[in-house]
Amino acid sequence: MAYWEWGAPEAAHVIVCVHGISRQGRDFDVLAQGLLDRAQAPLRVICPDVAGRGRSDWLKDPAGYQLPTYVGDMLAMLAQLHGKAPITTLDFVGTSMGGLISLGLCGTPNLPLPVPVRRLVLNDVGPVIQWEAVQRIGSYLGKTGRFDSVQQAADMMWAISTGFGPHTPQQWLALSQPMVKPLPEGGFTLHYDPAIAVPFRSITEAAAREGQAAIWQAYDHVTAETLVTRGANSDVLAPATAQAMTQRGPRARIIEFEGVGHAPTFIADNQVEAVASFLLRPTAIHEKPRSGAS
């Protein structure tokens, strides 16, 4: 599994940013730089390419493209990072699928984490994912296509990603460039293994409902201070689910971004500031690391 590393390689404060289902770690370029610009102490920002995406290897068996595999990969990555330079403060940011991976890490008791996760940002995702959104994502997932130029690929991705909210043409092109790779015969295709869609398309509405209970259970075990960032027009994270997340488990705080659906990209200044102020706020003297599930 490849990952992108920002900041000081020896920094004891590590923030891991995990992307959505068809995305890759370069999605967090602007956020990573924004965090470093605002940090008052050395900081490492780690942005993995989840298996099958970006620069990471593709799995031989598509059945492995599921949350348990991804959580295991994150544990292995954290162990490697901790071996290189000890981690004393660990935070996670997860967008959509990346949020579910983060929940698996933070909400499963007794995992061999270097330290408990201190703060968690769940970006437009929660234990209940609207079935209509699952169907929408399934309609394009796995269709990696062929494009004559990066711009043509960017235009196609914009057609299915308007929920990301307003972006300038320059911002969208910068976000899109790492999403494509050149083909040997010429032209470009999307970066990911089309087989990531195989287990996704096997999900039924009944199975999705059954899975909600397990994800709620994980959420209820989270001990990290939690922030939920939500696109006000999201079709993935319903307002009722977000509200329930403030009442149970870590009792998350919610910030909504107007004019945005699924999912905020953390490129707009107000989005970067919201995440940075949460993650970089000094730990109070009386605030002890929480023990237990995470």
The domains located in the chain, with CATH, are 3-134+207-280 (3.40.50.1820)
Contacts 24+ apart (CB under 8 A), 203-211: 203/134, 205/131, 208/129, 208/131, 208/134
Contacts of 180 (CB under 8 A, 6+ apart): 147, 150, 153, 188, 189, 190, 191
18 forms bridges with which residues in the sheet?
94
Q: Which residues contact residue 158 at a Cβ distance below 8 angstroms, ignoring those fewer than 6 apart? A: 172, 176
pLDDT in tens, 86-98: 999 999 999 999 9
| 200, 192 Cβ separation under 8 angstroms | no
pLDDT given at position 283: 78
- Best CA proximity match to 115, nearest among 285, 283, 247, 259: 283
pLDDT band at 287 (very low <50, low <70, confident <90, very high): low
Q: Compute the radius of gyration of the chain from its Cα atoms.
A: 18
- Give me the mean pLDDT over the 156-164 stretch: 93
Residue found by looking up tokens 């000081």 in the block: 8
More confident residue, 59 or 284: 59
Mean pLDDT of the chain: 94
Q: What was the pLDDT predicted at 293?
A: 36
Q: What is the mean pLDDT of residues 161-175?
A: 95
DSSP 134: H
pLDDT at 252 over 50: yes
- Per-residue three-class SS string for 30-83: HHHHHHHHHCCCCCEEEEECCCCCCCCCCCCCHHHCCHHHHHHHHHHHHHHHHH
143-152 mean pLDDT: 96
| pLDDT over 90 percentage in the chain | 92
pLDDT of residue 289: 47
pLDDT beyond 50 at 290:
no
| Residue pLDDT, tens place only, 214-235 | 999 999 999 999 999 999 999 9
How crowded is residue 246: how many other Cβ atoms within 10 Å of its Cβ? 14
